[in-house]
């Protein structure tokens, strides 16, 4: 289990104050909220991209409990997929994934042979064979998000943070990519924190839902009930 014991940050005109928030270490924790509610800021604090006034984030490992907030960004062993993928545009799809694999080998002690095998497997799982030699800048929206997912998964992260990963896609593509993403996450058994403002993203998912408003958690319950509630 993972618990954000406390996350506090004062931006002057906006405050984030979250206490005892449980993020599942199995399945999906959905993180909903309207624009400006602080969703993306929370993600940036969890990733370590912004310095927080207070952050304690405990993660239970087999060897004991660790505080991710006290670690360097790269040592937190997290994966991320942003809204537009944020691929490295000068690399091909495959090179993007290989870059993350090499980083995992260099900094996280992952075995070279294992990550090399997992590059090939992820390309296959995410149906990226045809796109693998294409420059990232020339990929379609759906391909870009699938490459971003492969890149995030290849280092076997503790948790993958999906920051509105489908919002830049049109409705049909969104359904298709969503199905692929959740299938692959389940196959690879990697927990995800899904930031979204679209309740459709949650259909069929198991896990829990957290709703944020004005930087505070206003709802935290199981996914099935939440989705039913969303759909009225």
Partner 1 sequence: MSRLSRTLVFLLFLAPYVFSLIVAQGRMALPAGFLGLVQSSFLQAALSALFAVTLGILTGVGLLGLPQRLRRSTEAAVLVGSFVPSIAWVLMWMVLLPNVRGVTAIVILHAVSSAGLIASAVVRKVRTRWAGSLELAMVEGAPRGLMWRRGLLPLLRSDLVTYLLTIFASSLSSFSIPLLMGGAEAWTFEIAIHQAVRIHSAWDQVAALTLWQWITLTVLLFVSRSRVPLRAGAIDHRESRAVEKYGWKPLVLLGVMPVASVLIVLLSSALRGVQQLETAGLLIDGGELGAVVLVSIFVAHLGGLLTAATTLFFALSRPSETERRLLSSYVAPSAVITGLMLLLVGMGSVSALADALRISFGCALVFAPVLWRMRWHVELSTLERQVEVAEIFGASAQMIAWRILWPQLRPLFYWTWGVATFWAFGDYAIGAVAASRPITLALLSRALLESYRLEAAAILIGLGLFLGFLSYLFFSNRGERNVGRKVS
* Residue 140 lies near partner 1 (rule: CB under 8 A): no
> Which of these ranges, 9-17, 98-106, 122-130, 186-194, lies near partner 1 under the rule CB under 8 A?
98-106
> Which of these ranges, 30-38, 63-71, 72-80, 116-124, lies near partner 1 under the rule CB under 8 A?
72-80
CB of 204 to partner 1, least distance (A): 28
Residues 88 and 139: beta-carbon distance below 8 Å: no
* Residue 73 lies near partner 1 (rule: CB under 8 A): yes
Among 65, 90, 114, 219, binds partner 1 (CB under 8 A): 90
Which two tokens mark 179?
A: 């199905």
> Which of these ranges, 10-18, 59-67, 84-92, 118-126, lies near partner 1 under the rule CB under 8 A?
84-92
CB of 78 to partner 1, least distance (A): 6
Please, what sign has the CA dihedral across residues 225, 229, 231, 232? positive
Q: Which is nearer to partner 1, 39 or 77 (CB)?
A: 77
Contact characters 150-189, partner 1, x per CB under 8 A = -xx--x----------------------------------
How many CA atoms lie less than 13 Å away from 65 in the CB half-sphere? 9
Q: What is the dihedral of CA 209, 215, 217, 223, to 10 degrees?
A: -10
* Residue 111 lies near partner 1 (rule: CB under 8 A): no
**Please, which residues have CB within 8 angstroms of residue 119's CB and are 6 or more apart in sequence?**
94, 97, 98, 101, 150, 154
- Segment holding 21, helix H or strand E: strand 15-23
* Residue 71 lies near partner 1 (rule: CB under 8 A): no
* Residue 58 lies near partner 1 (rule: CB under 8 A): no
Could you give the CA distance from residue 100 to residue 158 in angstroms, rounded to a whole number? 15
Among 100, 147, 181, 202, binds partner 1 (CB under 8 A): 100
Contact characters 16-55, partner 1, x per CB under 8 A = -------------------------------xxx------
Give per-residue burial for 108-142: e unless 16+ CB within 10 Å, then b: eebeeeebeebbeebbebbebeebbebebeebebb
Q: What is the dihedral of CA 37, 41, 45, 47, to 10 degrees?
A: 120
Binding region for partner 1 (CB under 8 A): 47-49, 73-80, 82, 86, 88-90, 99-100, 102-104, 106-108, 135, 137, 151-152, 155
């Amino acid at each position: 289990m993972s618990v954000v014991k406390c996350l506090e940050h004062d931006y002057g005109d906006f405050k984030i104050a979250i206490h005892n928030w449980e993020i599942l270490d199995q399945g999906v924790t959905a993180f909903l909220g309207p624009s400006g509610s602080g969703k993306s800021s929370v993600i940036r604090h969890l990733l370590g991209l912004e310095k927080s006034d207070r952050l304690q984030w405990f993660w239970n490992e087999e060897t004991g409990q660790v505080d991710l907030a006290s670690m360097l960004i790269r040592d937190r062993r997290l994966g991320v997929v942003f809204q537009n993928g944020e691929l490295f545009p000068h690399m091909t799809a495959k090179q993007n994934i290989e870059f993350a694999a090499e980083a995992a080998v260099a900094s996280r002690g992952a075995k070279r042979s294992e990550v090399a095998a997992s590059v090939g497997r992820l390309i296959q799982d995410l149906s990226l064979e045809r796109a693998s030699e294409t420059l990232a800048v020339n990929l379609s929206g759906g391909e870009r998000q699938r490459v971003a997912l492969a890149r995030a998964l290849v280092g076997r992260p503790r948790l993958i943070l999906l920051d509105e990963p489908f919002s830049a896609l049109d409705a049909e593509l969104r359904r298709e990519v969503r199905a692929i993403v959740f299938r692959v996450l389940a196959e690879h058994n990697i927990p995800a924190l899904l930031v979204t403002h679209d309740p459709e993203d949650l259909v069929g998912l198991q896990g829990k839902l957290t709703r944020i408003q004005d930087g505070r958690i206003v709802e935290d319950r199981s996914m099935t009930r939440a989705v039913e509630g969303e759909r009225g």
